[in-house]
Structure 1
Amino acid sequence: MSPSRKYRLTLERNFYVWILLLFIGILGYLNFQILKSFFASIGWAIVIALVFYPVFEYLKRFFKYRGLTALVTIILVIILFLLPFIYISYQIILEAGELIKGVNLPELIEELLTNSVTIKILEKLSFITGGDIKSLEDMIKNEISGLLKEGALKVAHGFSNVMGFFINLILTFFIAFFFLKDGDQFVKKIGEFLPFAEADKVSIRKQIKNIIYTTFYGGILIAMLQGTILGITFYFLDIPSATLWGFATAVASFIPVLGAFAVWGPASIYLLAKGFILKGIILALVGTLIISMIDNILKPLIIKGRVNLPLIFIFLSVLGGIKLFGLIGFIIGPLVFSLFVSFLEILKNFIGGAEHV
């Protein structure tokens, strides 16, 4: 073959490749625009499929068809998680309404700030305002009021879109069904497009699985467990709005350092200050010996050896993920960060001459 013909064929090949890349880019962008409204549903469907895949594998022993097994698995998830979630949400709405009617918030904040224990804490923190405790109290009052107003607006906005929530929920379970049924084929097909060694593909799959397992079992499940325990404790201590406070505990469990203490700690102090000594002591004991021990013992056992990222980066990626993607960002944030680190390691080893991570 003459050099001129070889050069012409190379030009033609490059031209076809660039045209193909152009069409792939355009179609990829259009597909992104089409599917971006469903990213949250797809994300939660992936989480459901991965977390409950062992259940799916177990049920396959009793059912002949994968489709039927996937359907039974989704039904179990709905019964075990969705129905209790709907009931708890309904209780939270009722109890929040009763709490708002029955609580004089300014008076409650004033009582907490004038408590002897609180005063000692404020004295130690008064350096923030140059030793002026009054200014510190005013700042705390304003911050609490602002947070409560903002929280109320967000909750009201969230519950106002109930129909959209249920549509997304149905879509999530529908997608999860197909991920369970055909998940192996999806993973295999995606793996075919990754230009990595097989060991690197296995490493990436393991990293994704570990992050999702860790955030679900070490985050969501722990939060549900702590909220349930505190809610039951509130119920038996005859403290109003037990479900609401249990939900608040589950949310607070994601706060670094403080965790669930952000709810049961002030609640114990309030009970002691109001003269309910026995209730305050019982709540403090349950919080210290049970709820906090879940964070200190059970959570490390769940995440041990699964994620090798520093805690500060996990925390920041969770906050950033939630801000960017919404609630599903709780999982997507750490996942994106861990995959970024994994790809850097693949690149480092490739440049260094290793075949895989």
Structure 2
Amino acid sequence: MALPLVVVVLALLCFRVFLPFLDEILWSIVGTILFLPVKRWYLARNPGQENRAALVALAAMSLTLLLPMGLLLAVAIDQVAALYQGLASGRFNPASALESAVAHLPDSVRGLLARAGLGDFEAIQSRVVAGLGRGMPAFANQALAFGGGVLNVLLSLIVILYLGFFFLRDGEKLVRRMAALAPIDAGYQAVIDATFVTVVRATVKGGIFVALAQGAVGGAVLALLGIESWLLLGLVMAVAALLPAVGTGLVWLPVALYLLATGQVIQAVILVLCGLFVIGMVDNILRPILIGSETKMPDFIVLLSTLGGVEAFGFDGLLVGPLVAALAQAVFTRLLDRPEAAAPPAP
């Protein structure tokens, strides 16, 4: 009786110790599942080189993680630099841009703005600049907080990649040991393992395909609206679509604001409507179809489990939600398919 209690207490303590790193552990496991074929491919050609095979797979994982983030960062820096140069050279005057945008509004709306004291844009710009000057300490604090957030993301990536090396090298042996200790029938273990791998691969593949589709649709919309950098912005939109906390709005919303500020009101409205109801709906339509086709789950279960997972677990819910639903479906299906469950009741 004492030994089971000790095991339970140790398990709970281990869970508490590793709780701050659950996100990193989860996504490191996901990366291991996705890039384990790379390790096996290398080992098939270089038998016995476990460490080198794990490093090769880890290098592939690192490039997959860092290249999209680098693209987003480079575009963000380029856009900020372009905005600064435009302001410094006088090519872009926010007051005149707003005045041009308001000139396209109906007379009744312009009258309301004038009565509200929002007709003198030069004065508004002066007040905004003065307010920004007074708010510089708060802005500095926010900038420091943002820098701390970026540092946390980088540290998380380092932990994910660090764990990834050991999971790639020793993960299969670790899984076999845990399976030997788990008080679960071997048949159920096989079902759980297969379902876990299938859902992880389907979720990641589906997410990548959806992101590419959103980038393609977004780029097409921008091209039709006459935006010169539509191809680059479409690529950035595809990368941003991989990040639910960011999403495609990171791209199309600033473009819509720019169109509005330069007096292209109709194009701005069209872009906002397309961003909300066309680009945004691509995810809700395609993701359930793509994931459901591989996991054999109904589309509505995939959609609800994804939305519920995001609500409950945040970014991790994109994977955890469908994973919980798929595991429940697989286990319950096996329970119902047992001979004793399928046999009719005795008379």
Q: Same fold (TM over 0.5)?
A: yes
Shift of 1:166: 1.4
Superimposed CA distance per residue, residues 52-105 of structure 1 (whole angstroms, 9 cap, x where no aligned partner): 222222222333411111101111222344134234234335536867987979
Shift of 1:165: 1.5
Q: State whether structure 2 residue 246 is matched by structure 1 residue 247.
A: no
Q: Which residue among 78, 81, 91 is the counterpart of 2:62?
A: 78
Partners of 1:226 and 1:250 within 8 A in 2: no
1:186 corresponds in structure 2 to: 174
Q: Residue 73 of structure 1 aligns to which amino acid in structure 2?
A: A
CA-based RMSD of the aligned residues comes to 5.1
2:76 corresponds in structure 1 to: 92
Q: Which residue among 222, 227, 245 is the counterpart of 2:210?
A: 222
Change (3 A) 1:215 1:45: same
Q: State whether structure 2 residue 328 is matched by structure 1 residue 340.
A: yes
**TM-score normalised to structure 2 length:** 0.62
Partners of 1:322 and 1:329 within 8 A in 2: yes
Partners of 1:218 and 1:302 within 8 A in 2: yes
Where do residues 197-216 of structure 1 align in structure 2 (5 Å cutoff)?
197-216=185-204
| Higher mean C-alpha displacement, 54-63 vs 98-107 | 98-107
Superimposed CA distance per residue, residues 212-240 of structure 1 (whole angstroms, 9 cap, x where no aligned partner): 11110101453156337746985994259
- Aligned-partner Cα distance in 2 for 1:156–1:104: 27
- Aligned-partner Cα distance in 1 for 2:63–2:235: 24
1:321 corresponds in structure 2 to: 309
- Aligned-partner Cα distance in 1 for 2:11–2:186: 26
Runs of at least 5 residues in structure 2 that lack an aligned partner in the other structure: 107-141
1:50 corresponds in structure 2 to: 33
2:18 corresponds in structure 1 to: 35
Shift of 1:198: 3.3
- Aligned-partner Cα distance in 2 for 1:261–1:164: 23
Change (3 A) 1:70 1:225: farther
1:23 corresponds in structure 2 to: 6
- Aligned-partner Cα distance in 1 for 2:305–2:163: 26
Superimposed CA distance per residue, residues 309-355 of structure 1 (whole angstroms, 9 cap, x where no aligned partner): 23333233223333433322211121122222333334434584479
Q: Which residue among 229, 238, 246 is the counterpart of 2:228?
A: 238
Percent identity between matched residues is: 27
Partners of 1:95 and 1:243 within 8 A in 2: no
Number of residue pairs aligned between Structure 1 and Structure 2: 290
Q: Which residue among 152, 161, 175 is the counterpart of 1:164?
A: 152
Change (3 A) 1:97 1:200: farther
Change (3 A) 1:262 1:166: closer
- Aligned-partner Cα distance in 1 for 2:38–2:285: 26
Q: Residue 330 of structure 1 aligns to which amino acid in structure 2?
A: L
2:131 corresponds in structure 1 to: none
Partners of 1:70 and 1:177 within 8 A in 2: yes
- Aligned-partner Cα distance in 2 for 1:230–1:313: 27
- Aligned-partner Cα distance in 2 for 1:336–1:98: 46
Change (3 A) 1:186 1:318: same
Q: Which residue among 161, 168, 184 is the counterpart of 1:173?
A: 161
SS at match of 2:45: coil
Q: Residue 66 of structure 1 aligns to which amino acid in structure 2?
A: E
Partners of 1:46 and 1:176 within 8 A in 2: yes
2:52 corresponds in structure 1 to: 68
Q: Residue 61 of structure 2 aligns to which amino acid in structure 1?
A: V
Partners of 1:95 and 1:241 within 8 A in 2: no
Partners of 1:230 and 1:246 within 8 A in 2: no
- Aligned-partner Cα distance in 2 for 1:92–1:157: 18
Q: Residue 237 of structure 2 aligns to which amino acid in structure 1?
A: F
Q: Residue 6 of structure 2 aligns to which amino acid in structure 1?
A: F
Shift of 1:28: 1.4
Shift of 1:264: 6.9
Partners of 1:248 and 1:263 within 8 A in 2: no
Partners of 2:199 and 2:295 within 8 A in 1: yes
